């Protein structure tokens, strides 16, 4: 780990777990852009807000994410002004492996605060105060989990039963037991019984304590992660775990692997507002209702409607005479669902993916390490994209076997490599890239470069890109000799 501040026994290092797929918020979040990266709240993503919230507890952060999303994480870190380590998982192996790898990359004496990347906690100061109040328990050797006071009998969360108070450890209590996500009847029983909290999946623990617990209860996971850490490689801000060793690791949650087996788990209540933003109903609750229970985000209009949520960031969407509906509009897909079926969205996405529907996985708007592109239009043998390149960034040196391209500069300055020629193009200027021609697009300026790209050819898929040079660690085609 790149040390940012001097580590003492009281130092809290925030470890943000960023591996979720977020399919329950389809079509806004998708596999290529999970919900933690979507700008859901005032133009900020949940990950950016989590980083900013964690910054109240100290400068040191480790973000555990997938290789696929590394530049989305980097963009969020830049926006949040966080300069921690980005620990990359070659494959997803659930929270036990992610937490083990982070603990192995941290000083043994440090207190690690494990945070999901996709939670919404509006009162950051209350959150920080609650975490600080758990420090005595973590220093005493407990694995501290945080329980949210339930406000209704939810079937979407696991529950924690509070046991006896721990002497000298503040408001912390021993965990009596963990309860799986209950059915509606059981959830009502737990709420009426009292002494039960929603499991927020937030933990504070000394690194050495967690590693000892893993050694005792999940030694195979710990050993696989030790090997992956021994084989890890640092690439600038990224730290890549050893791929083969990590892939061989068993996939399990920290709850099953450690928490439900350990005898030194404590719970501390968190009384402020909290949401895991785990469904469209949860997203709807972030918007204030009108007098008929309608909640509207963006360009929505609820007419003679009640208890209807409309998410319409791009164009007018009208709900006429509806009741208890969720209406989610995006540029290339629309979801209309009864609010009582919000938890089934994940199942629908799996069906769309199995049917080969591209919108199940990808947005029309696609983030890239150098910027983004938006697929404006397409048809037989043509495709039109709007491309934005960040200042100082460039695409790979590449060529295509099946398509030619026309580039028109809308704004900014483009440095274009077109075969053996290198030229500068400015607003309203253009160039033509013949099929098979080696080319590259760069932005040498101080402002974003925006171009319109018109592709034409027999095949226009993204896999018809032969990279010859790349600065972002993506696969490069071997150079043939002779």
Average pLDDT over residues 208-224: 97
Residue 481: the pLDDT is 36
Residue 471: the pLDDT is 79
**CATH number, domain 12-270:** 3.90.550.10
| Range in 221-225, 364-368, 387-391 the model is least confident about | 364-368
Q: Both tokens of residue 301?
A: 């209009």
Strands, sheet with 403-411, edge to edge from the N-terminal-most edge strand: 365-368, 371-379, 382-389, 449-457, 403-411, 430-433
Question: How many helices and strands (H and E) does the chain possess?
Answer: 12, 26
| Range in 197-206, 214-223, 462-471 the model is least confident about | 462-471
State the CB neighbour count (10 A cutoff) for residue 215: 13
Rounded-to-integer distance, Cα 427 and Cα 452, Å: 11
Residue 477 has pLDDT above 60, yes or no: no
Domain segments of the chain as ranges: 12-270, 286-354, 365-469
Q: Which CATH superfamily includes the segment(s) 365-469?
A: Jelly Rolls (2.60.120.10)
Element (H, E) at 452: strand 449-457
Average pLDDT over residues 34-55: 91
User: What percentage of the chain has pLDDT greater than the value 70?
Assistant: 96
pTM of the model: 0.86
Assess whether the region 12-270 and the region 365-469 belong to the same CATH fold. no
Q: Both tokens of residue 121?
A: 């906690």
Residue 9: the pLDDT is 56
Q: How confident is the model at residue 289 (pLDDT cuts 50, 70, 90)?
A: very high
Let me know: does 258 contact 116? Beta carbons within 8 Å: no
Pick from 89, 150, 134, 142: nearest CA to 259? 142
User: Across the strands, what pairs with 338?
Assistant: 325
Q: How confident is the model at residue 2 (pLDDT cuts 50, 70, 90)?
A: very low
């Amino acid at each position: 780990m790149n040390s940012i501040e001097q580590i003492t026994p009281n130092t809290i290092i925030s470890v943000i777990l960023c591996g979720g797929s977020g399919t329950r918020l389809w079509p806004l979040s998708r596999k290529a852009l999970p919900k933690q990266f979507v700008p859901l709240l005032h133009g900020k993503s949940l990950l950016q807000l989590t980083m900013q919230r964690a910054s109240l507890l100290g400068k040191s952060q480790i973000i555990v994410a997938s290789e696929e999303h590394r530049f989305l994480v980097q963009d969020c870190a830049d926006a949040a002004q966080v300069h921690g380590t980005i620990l990359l998982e070659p494959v997803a192996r659930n929270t036990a492996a992610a937490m083990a790898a982070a603990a192995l990359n941290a000083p043994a004496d440090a207190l690690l605060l494990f945070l999901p990347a996709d939670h919404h906690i509006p009162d950051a100061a209350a959150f920080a105060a609650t975490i600080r109040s758990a420090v005595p328990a973590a220093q005493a050797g407990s694995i501290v989990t945080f329980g949210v006071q339930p406000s209704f009998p939810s079937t979407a969360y696991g529950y924690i039963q509070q046991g006896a108070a721990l002497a000298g450890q503040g408001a912390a209590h021993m965990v009596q037991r963990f309860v799986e996500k209950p059915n509606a009847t059981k959830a009502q029983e737990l709420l009426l019984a009292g002494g039960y909290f929603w499991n927020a999946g937030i933990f504070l623990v000394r690194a050495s304590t967690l590693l000892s617990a893993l050694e005792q209860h999940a030694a195979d996971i710990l050993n696989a992660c030790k090997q992956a850490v021994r084989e890890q490689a640092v690439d600038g801000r990224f730290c890549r775990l050893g791929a083969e060793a990590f892939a061989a690791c068993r996939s399990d949650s920290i709850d099953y692997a450690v928490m439900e087996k350990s005898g030194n788990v404590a719970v501390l209540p968190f009384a402020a507002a909290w949401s895991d933003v785990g469904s469209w109903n949860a997203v709807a609750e972030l918007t204030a209702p009108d007098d008929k229970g309608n909640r509207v985000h963006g360009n929505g209009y609820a007419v003679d409607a009640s208890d209807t949520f409309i998410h319409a960031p791009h164009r007018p969407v009208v709900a006429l005479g509806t009741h208890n509906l969720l209406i989610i509009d995006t540029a290339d897909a629309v979801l209309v669902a009864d609010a009582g079926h919000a938890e089934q969205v994940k199942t629908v996405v799996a069906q769309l993916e199995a049917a080969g529907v591209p919108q199940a996985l990808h947005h029309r708007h696609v983030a890239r390490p150098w910027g983004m592109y938006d697929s404006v239009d397409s048809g037989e043998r043509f495709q039109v994209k709007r491309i934005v390149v960040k200042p100082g960034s460039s695409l790979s040196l590449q060529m295509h076997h099946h398509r030619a391209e026309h580039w028109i500069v809308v704004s900014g300055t483009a440095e274009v490599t077109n075969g053996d020629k290198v030229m500068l193009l400015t607003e309203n200027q253009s160039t033509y890239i013949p099929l098979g021609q080696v080319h590259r697009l760069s932005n040498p300026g101080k402002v974003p470069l925006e171009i319109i790209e018109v592709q034409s050819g027999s095949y226009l898929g993204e896999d018809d890109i032969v990279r010859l040079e790349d600065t972002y660690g993506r696969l490069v085609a071997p150079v043939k000799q002779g």
